[in-house]
Chain A
Amino acid sequence: MFELNRRRVLRGVLNGGAVTVGLPLLNVFLNGNGNALADGKPMPVRFGTWFWGLGMSKSIFVPKTTGANYEITEEMEALRDVKKHFNVLTNLIAYRDGAFFCHYTGWVVARAGASPVLNNQAPGETVDVTIANQIGRSTRFKSLTATATGDVRSVVSYENATTPNPSEASPLNFYTRLFGPDFQDPNAPSFTPSPRVMVRKSALSAVSDQIQELNKKVGAEDKIRLDQYFTGLRHLEQQFDQQLTKPEPLAACHPAKAPKEDAKLGNLAELVQIRHNMMTDLLVMAVACDQTRVFNMAFSNASSNTTKPGYDKPHHTCTHEEPRDENLGYQPNASWYVRRSFESLAYFIGAFAKVKEGDGSLIDNVLIQANTDVSNARVHSLEEMPAFTAGRAGGKVKTGLHIDGKGGQITRMSYTAMKVMGLDINSWGTKSNQASKEISEMLV
């Protein structure tokens, strides 16, 4: 039986030279992709993470009551306008289970499910990677990772123990990667597949065979690295396929123009926020244009080096050296920094809420989890950890709640996210951090 598949169609198209392909032909390409953006089908649910460093000030952060009618607290004030879009989680624990790395263990437990045994080496892949392997394979980018720190060395995502996913740190570079010459505007009136892309793909297959020879020369650990390379090649081929395919129109997709100039370097909170917002705008549009379904954004590193104008201590140093103000009951400058982080979180959530998608907005079709490295940064405590989730995950998740974790594992948050994103697992994490119960309060 004759089967009309993507490869066969393209071969036909390209042998005939470059032709403009009309729309009706293209629906056939979308089969099998899980791409269900048209014809009133449900929008895909996307997953993202957001990171901020150095916890919070318990006395002015933790809401007094739980559930939907909690009062926004002083430190969370910036989040007031987007309250209906997120949940705040408090009183969660990351278990050390042995070694302890002051600003590393906490966030790695939350994202990788186990306590790291080496500093700067994750115990395994992070939750975004696990989810991207499930839902991110059909898009142009399996996932996107961006940071507001301006430093490409910032890490919040691990492909495996020794392979961090590199962070986009420059808005200009990020723009070019997303919306530069290789971007296919799904709403463009016509579509011309490039014959050069076709031959490029063919040439790539000529070198991918070379992996076999290399494999014979290396040990088990390096075989894994060659295998990663091979996976990367497959992904490149997939990107070429997508460039040869007319994308389905997306009403929500309106890429902005390239930034006129790159964001200024610098650690001043204001500069970090500007970079954060530029990166966020790009990321949100990449999601709206279905370039990726998994994304990570970091406001700062765990040992945040954000600075405050006229104050000589960067955030991290401040948390350790600033005395607690007896009248206020917290460290005022440390809290100043945390509030700047939450202003950016509010921007992040708001940016998804602003983009109309289907009957609602993008925030209805995402699940974002936000976490940090410690609860009380001054003493690196991993008890009473705060976290947030944002978005309704296509109607599967409730928002607007304060959920008291009651001293439960912080890994339950990622476990819940994985279940919501459709992973068939019964537990996640290791030792004391092994979670097998969802956070039921947030599930519809």
Chain B
Amino acid sequence: MKLNYRLIRKIKNQLFMLVIFLSAALVLIPLFLVIKYVFQEGASSLSLSFFTELPKPVGEVGGGMMHAILGTMYIVLLGALIAVPIGITCGIYLCEFSKSKLSKTLKLTVDLMSGIPSIVIGIFAYLMVVVPLKSFSALAGGVALSIIMLPIIIKTSEEILKLVPNHIREAGLALGLPRWKVILFIILKGSISNLLTGIILAISRAAGETAPLLFTAFGNMYLSFDLKKPMATLPVQIYTYAISPFKDWQRQAWAGAFVLMVLILTMNLFARFLLNKIKDKKGF
């Protein structure tokens, strides 16, 4: 009887381990499948013309997504242009005045903001920019993406600035510098390369967003750099092609997904790698 009980415990333990290993495999398999599938389908559909040509009219085989690649870069940079200064400013506030009431409210705001469904942000940007300008536009897309990037940039900036030890601040103050100069010219300036990590992370997130661009930047079959006109982006172009009935467009959607994923995963891994390095070194 006693032996039996011990055996049962042992079996339970082994079973549990099995379940855990299986689940790990279960998670890694889809990841592997997605990557494998995208690489396989994407790489085989990829050609030089994908990067250098515009889409061909329906029915004609060939063409590329040059306009969408450039469009994605344009809109993401536009979004970063809005979100980076505001985000870093808030990061400084959170780091330097962390005990104030406003800081706590801002932290909650950031958490809630990062939880807003991206499609809702798209609708907001539509109402704010597309309706008054009476046209879908790159600007509206940039505004939408900036709201997506903002919480990420605020959070990482705060974390990174907090890594600057307090005695560095004191050393600055002890030189007879006013606090604002210590913050801007010693702490912020000294952290610029680290802050870049947060920006890369935010950009890698924003570059893959489709939903907020559907009715802001909308899409365009031609190359455009006009802020006030619709602009193609890689994710929206992939979406349009993916749900189309044309085999050649579907192939191009795969090529687009491949390019997008390589781009995003590279940026993301790079930022993570830097972030780990910074944290290991405690910054300095």
A and B: partners? Answer: no
Binding site for A on B (CB under 8 A): none
